[in-house]
Structure 1
Amino acid sequence: MLEHNQQAAARIAELEERLQRLEDTEQIKQLKARYFRFVDEKKWTEIGNLFTADAGMVSQGQDFSYLGGADYGKMIGDLVGKTVMANTSRLIAKRIMSGKSAAQI
């Protein structure tokens, strides 16, 4: 009985780890989709808001980490400028709301 309980506990722990990895992967996919949608739409403020305050960024060998998250959007906008965007967000990210519904993010 003890061995069975230990095996069951180990299996539950394994499943919880797998679930956490899947949830983390989904969050990354949603973040990536938002980022590229904002690039396509040239929403620089929204891009900046995706970064944490302690985010670091290095571009062309120059460290811009002192700027912090919110200023990255402006910097990216300044770098990209009026360049025509070519639909970099081929993914349409959706959040699963229930077994029967989803919403675009």
Structure 2
Amino acid sequence: MHTQEAPKSSAWRSRLVGTATAAALLIAGGAGAVALTSPTASANEHSASTSSKSLATKVQRLEDIEEIRQLKARYFRFVDEKKHDQLAALFTPGAKLVTDGITWKSPKEFAYTIRDLTGAAPSAHSGAMPEIKITGPNTATGIWSMEDILTFPAGTKGAPEGHDGYGQYHEAYRKVHGKWLIDSVLLTRFWMEPLPAWTPPVKNTASK
């Protein structure tokens, strides 16, 4: 009886050892697989993070460009609507302004001179084809093609001659406390065509 049981016990031990060996190989293989896949997963995560940051940077750039477009649109609108205090507020306090060779001491001097010169005379200012470049987190530059039309009522004493002018704005912008402002202006007109004075229409105040 002991002789018959010996082969069976030996076979059982062999199967047990084989099973343990196979399990050890599987565990080792699994560890190897983890070692192989972990760098790839890490690289993918890094790539996704980099891509996300790149996308966020591009979106911020587009938002900044749009805000600068609207800033310049307000500039033209405030001039035509005679909102001179709001016009001056579009600039940084130390902004450098040069228009047609004239250097202004401050944004307020520039805005108030426009007020005193044009008074209530109608004007039409527009800008087109902006080339806006973001140069840093809080800085940018821009080039605008421009046209301005200004005429004065006929018979206005001391009024300058009206004109239809064409030229370019070369500007710099700065973001201050999260808000874009004009930091410098260089306005050069390439052509100015004189316009005759006009006679304002007579307002009909008669009751209907």
| TM range, smaller chain | 0.5 to 0.7
What is the Cα deviation at residue 76 of structure 1? Answer: 3.0
Q: Which runs of structure 2 are paired with 1:17-96 in the superposition (5 Å)? A: 17-64=57-104, 67-86=105-124, 88=126
TM-score by length of 1: 0.68
Could you tell me which residue of structure 2 aligns to residue 13 of structure 1? 53
Is residue 52–residue 68 contact of structure 1 (8 Å, CA) maintained in 2? Answer: no
Counterpart amino acid of residue 21 in structure 1:
R
Q: Which sections of structure 1, spanning at least 5 residues, go unmatched?
A: 90-105
Structure whose CA Rg is larger? 2
Q: Cα gap change, 1:87/1:59 in structure 2, threshold over 3 Å: closer, same or farther?
A: closer
Distance 2:117 2:48 in 1: 54
Question: Does the residue aligned with 1:56 lie in a helix, a strand or coil?
Answer: strand
What is the Cα deviation at residue 85 of structure 1? Answer: 1.2
TM-score by length of 2: 0.37
Find runs of 4+ consecutive structure 1 residues off by over 3 angstroms: 78-83
Structure with more helix by fraction: 1
RMSD, aligned CA: 2.2
How far does the alpha carbon of each residue in 1:4-60 deviate from its partner, in whole angstroms, 9 at most, with x for none? 012111111111111111110121122112111111111112111111101001123
Structure with more strand by fraction: 2
Distance 1:60 1:86 in 2: 18
Greater relative CO, 1 or 2 (CA 8 Å, sep 6+) = 1
Percent of pairs identical after alignment?
A: 39
Is residue 97–residue 107 contact of structure 2 (8 Å, CA) maintained in 1? Answer: no
Q: Which sections of structure 2, spanning at least 5 residues, go unmatched?
A: 1-40, 128-208
Could you tell me which residue of structure 2 aligns to residue 3 of structure 1? 43
